[in-house]
Amino acid sequence: MTQGFLDAARRYPMRFPDGSENPSMVHLARVIDHPNIEVGDYTYANDFDPPQDWAAHLAPYTYAGAPERLRIGRFCQIAHGVRFITASANHAMGGVSTYPFPVFDMTKIDLYKSGFQGMPDTNIGHDCWIGHGALILPGTRLGAGVIVGAGAVVSGDVPDYAIVAGNPARVIRMRFAPAQVARILALAWWDWPVTQIEAAMPLIMAGDLAALERRMG
């Protein structure tokens, strides 16, 4: 097996057979420099119309200095059209109207800030696959290995290795039995040295947990 095909330093991780880079796919950690967004190595996004500003494209309501964070783990796969709607997209709801009057007069912005205390973070676990056009709502927490169906609207907590789909998204099925999930989480292959991951790729793709455990041991 050819070694060295995983390179977290690459902006464009995918190459076509002729050696040219695929400009539609990027390692997000190489293209996002935003104080409110954390992205793990090897997580990529794909978009058929690649933006200049990936942070604004994926999380359009997450501004620098906002009270919430968007955290995305390692080895996640984010398809075209996915959006993370973080907590700053909300309007204050405690008054008679939800109209955001103070945003039109910055001298009154403190009236607005008071309605945005304790904003929830959005957390995406390692090795999640988020399908075409999915919408991830404020405060969502995806466990490791979650698959989000195309067009799903996801909120709340999604357990490790669940498959969710629909609007509102619901768990369609679990990818593995609970005991298997515990074994995969204990392996935490996404934290292995990259050379070890490359060498174990056939076992990871085949789902051979016993062989992976022997390799780790």
Separation CA 102–CA 171 (nearest Å) = 39
Catalytic residue among 27, 34, 91, 126: 91
How far, in Å, are 3, 19, 21, 78, 187 from residue 24 at the CA level?
A: 24, 15, 9, 12, 32
Structure tokens at 36: 């409110």
Separation CA 110–CA 106 (nearest Å) = 8
Sheet with strand 153-154: strands edge to edge: 83-84, 135-136, 153-154
Separation CA 189–CA 21 (nearest Å) = 27
How far, in Å, are 13, 44, 120, 123 from residue 7 at the CA level?
A: 7, 12, 32, 24
The answer to whether residue 91 is catalytic is: yes
Helix, strand, coil content of the chain in percent (nearest 5): 25, 20, 55
Separation CA 135–CA 124 (nearest Å) = 13
Q: Say if CB 10 and CB 31 are below 8 A apart.
A: no
Give the angle subtended at the CA of 214 by the CAs of 212 and 217, to the nearest 5°.
110
Q: Which residues are catalytic?
A: 91
